Structure 1
Amino acid sequence: MDANSKTDEHASLSWEDRPSTCPDFVVSFRGYEQEAAETLGAAIGETLRAFGRIMDISNLDGVTVGYDYDEALAQLDRGYETNFVLERTNGVAIGVAMTPSVLRGESLKSHIVLAGHIADALVGNDVELRSMTVHTIAHECSHVEITAAWEKCFPGELLRTRFPTLLTAWRSEVTSACWDEYAACRISADLGYDPVPGYTQTFLTIFSGIDKKVGELVGGFDGTNVDQLVGSLFGAVGDLMKFACYLQGALAGTGRKLDDVPDASSALSAHWFSPYFDRLADACNEIFSEFGRWPDKRQFEVISDLVVEIIEDQAVTIWDHEDGSYSVRIHHPRLFL
């Protein structure tokens, strides 16, 4: 099943002739002159209507474009009371676009936020930059579809569910990040430009530092704040898994295998993460094969079990108690000797 056919009820039509799922929406601009905003807004609308013919973006709430991307994220009306402030990815990969969930009345929708310098390339003369922006918008449209599919299968959960324990929250965060990015990268893989080289570089950067990162977290533990240690381990291992999913999704979406990326294949060879990389790809592929038809969350729990398995294999054993608390035992595998 390819990404373009999984929800398309008009498969016999060429994509140009299919009706668009793009709803009426507003593009809001921050820091733009009116003429520039009108020109870019028209281009964004045309692009989204085109992508609406090959994926379901009917749950799009709107688009915000801002030169001050951080402020645009922070000021987005999410439709409910929260102290959580949206922040861009800021590390090995620098975030330039995000599609957070929002509530509009009782309806869950998705709102695309774009950094102005990225969005501007859509109407610029640089062909390479324009293709990258087209791909970025396609990726964010994919998130609109993915979120809607989750809401259809598990209504009322996103933004409206409290996790009973910290371990449950950490597991869920990693699972959501891995699945969402795998699916978005797979759906948008062949739209705009080829993202595989960039995803490969980012994954290898995270991958090359994971042993040191986990070792520092364990070595720096002072025996008092267990939540900080365990939460940080979920964060570090979760990032490794998430960026593996970026690469895996893009490879699957373009019909390639890991062997087609020699740098990544060579780096993973004989490394402890190699079997986990393969199992993660298999888990995501299995979930994708049932896109939007998930009867329960058992397939997703494979990912959450995997992150715990990696942490326990490489750093600490975790005991989850019936009362919601947990305890850990730090061990010293060959990785840290």
Structure 2
Amino acid sequence: MDGTVAAQEVEPEDPSEASPSTFPETTNFSMHGMEEAEARKIAYNLAEMFREIGRRIDISNLDGITIAWDYDKALAELDRGYQSVHVLTRTTDVGTGVAMTPSVLRDGTLKSHILFHAHVANFVQSEDVEDIKFVLHTIAHECAHVEITAAYDKCFPGELLRATHATLLHAYHEQVFSACWDEYAATRISGTIGYDPMPGYEETFISVLEQIDDKVAELVKGFHGRTPEETDAFVGSVFGAYGTLLKFGCYYLGTLASVGRKGDPGEKILEALAGSWLRPYFFRIEDLCSELFETFGRWSDKDGFEAIGNLIEEIVEDRSMTIHRGSGGRYGIYVHHINANT
């Protein structure tokens, strides 16, 4: 089956509920690669979960929900409401992505659309409690992204999907601070709904930290700077590598904060950070994200977000290259990484 199931068809909201849900009753489920009866059953159960989570997380800006066995195709073909050369793809370098909440434009209004791999969505029919906990937490995390995006758009209307970056360097800068902030806030909002993701985030962060120096070294060894395009790609890759490291740190830090453990990362993380160049940056980004969260949805300027980007750039300059900015968005770099001349 390739079609839609309207929320009204699966279960109505009970008007007697003391805490009304923010789940939009007009939400459609786009179901791909399954029989109609199965699709309706999955949509029915998912709608119930979304309604319950919508009592704790504001998902009033939800555009729709797509469930697909061919998840990669669903991502690539999602109608985002505008023309873009960027094709949505799942995470594959650190784990494998099974859910995503990209922004879309509908009649000029920014909304969020949630996509799930059908394997995960199908857990709603499982008799295994751990499967149910997993899908519940996955839904909560993606719902948190809906709330985060709406809050940012309310404070800074017209930016997301509708504004261009002043310079390419700032595009790298903003991509990284957006990813770090979004995952910190999403994990802090979703917390341990369903199950506690902290052990998994801890393991992933430590793994990425152990690999980061070798990964950047390989980027440096492969860089020759023969053309501006090659330089741009190299700089973007280095920003991306360090940004990915801090993004996975933010997954962990947001979850820590959700259970009241800010500043207390635990023995495994402290051991991994002992003697590491990352240690001071780790606690600085925790403070920056925490400060942003304390004024969630009431931001009068972007200084707090830019501070995260500045921290990433500080790491790039400290560890790999000096960036010299010129006029008109032009820039030059001097690579001082230990592998620059090997």
* TM-score bucket of the superposed structures, by smaller chain: over 0.9
Residues 282-322 of structure 1: per-residue CA shift (max 9 Å, x gap): 00000000000000000111101011100000000001212
Bigger mean CA deviation after superposition, 320-329 or 281-290: 320-329
For 2:305 and 2:265, locate their aligned partners in 1 and report how far apart those are by CA, in whole Å. Answer: 27
SS in 1 for 2:328: coil
Structure 2 residue matching 1:323: 3-state secondary structure: helix
Give the aligned partner of residue 175 of structure 2.
Answer: 173
Aligned residues: 322
Q: Indicate the residue corresponding to 1:280 in structure 2.
A: 285
Q: CA deviation at 1:336?
A: 10
Report deviation, 1:230. Answer: 0.7
Match of 2:8 in 1: none
Partner of 2:254: 249
**Does 1:267 pair with 2:280?**
no
Does structure 2 retain, via aligned residues, the 8 Å contact 1:258–1:265? Answer: no
Q: Distance in 1 between matches of 2:285 and 2:254?
A: 11
Q: Using the TM superposition, give the Cα deviation of residue 334 of structure 1 relative to its aligned residue in structure 2, in angstroms.
A: 10
Contact in 1 for aligned 2:221/2:339 (Cα 8 Å):
no
User: TM-score, normalising length from structure 1?
Assistant: 0.92
The residue correspondences of 1:1-337 to structure 2 (distance < 5 A) are: 17-24=18-25, 25-224=27-226, 225-257=230-262, 259=264, 261-332=266-337
Structure 1: gaps (5+ residues) = 1-15
Cα shift at 1:74: 0.9
Distance 2:75 2:20 in 1: 31
Amino acid at match of 1:91: D
| Per-residue deviation, 1:335 | 11
Q: Aligned partners of 1:289, 1:74: CA distance in 2, in Å?
A: 35
Sequence identity of aligned pairs in percent?
Answer: 52
Q: Deviation at 1:154?
A: 0.3
- Structure 2 Cα separation of the partners of residues 27 and 245 of structure 1: 30
Q: 1:334 to 1:281 in 2, by over 3 A?
A: farther
3-state secondary structure, aligned to 1:185: helix
The normalised TM-score by structure 2 is 0.91
* Alpha-carbon RMSD: 1.6
What letter matches 1:119 in structure 2? A
Q: CA contact under 8 A between 1:210 and 1:236: conserved in structure 2? A: yes
The whole-number CA distance in structure 2 between the counterparts of 1:270 and 1:93 is: 27
C-alpha offsets along residues 85-113 of structure 1, whole Å, 9 cap, x if unaligned?
11001112211000000111011100000
| Structure 2 unmatched ranges of 5 or more | 1-16
**Which amino acid in 2 is paired with 1:127?**
V
Give how far 1:81 is off.
1.5
Alpha-carbon distance in structure 2 between the residues aligned to 1:66 and 1:147: 23
What's the offset of the Cα at 1:220? 2.0
Measured at CA, do residues 122 and 330 of structure 1 come closer, stay the same or move farther in structure 2, by a change above 3 Å?
A: same
Contact 1:20 1:49 in 2 (8 A): yes
Consecutive aligned runs of 4 or more in structure 1 exceeding 6 Å deviation: 334-337
Cα distance in 2, alignment partners of residues 56 and 207 from structure 1: 33
Looking at structure 1, the residues matched to 139 and 102 of structure 2 have their Cα atoms a distance apart, in angstroms, of 14
Cα offset, 1:332, TM superposition: 3.6
Whether the 8 Å contact between 2:253 and 2:265 is mirrored in structure 1 is no
* Contact 1:92 1:205 (8 Å CA) reproduced: no
CA distance in 2, matches of 1:148, 1:327: 36
- The answer (yes or no) to whether the contact 2:220–2:337 under 8 Å persists in 1 is no
- Matched to 1:89, the amino acid is T
Counterpart-to-counterpart distance in 2, 1:182 and 1:234: 18
TM-aligned CA distance change 1:28 to 1:216, over 3 Å:
same
Equivalent residues of 1:258, 1:264 under 8 A apart: no
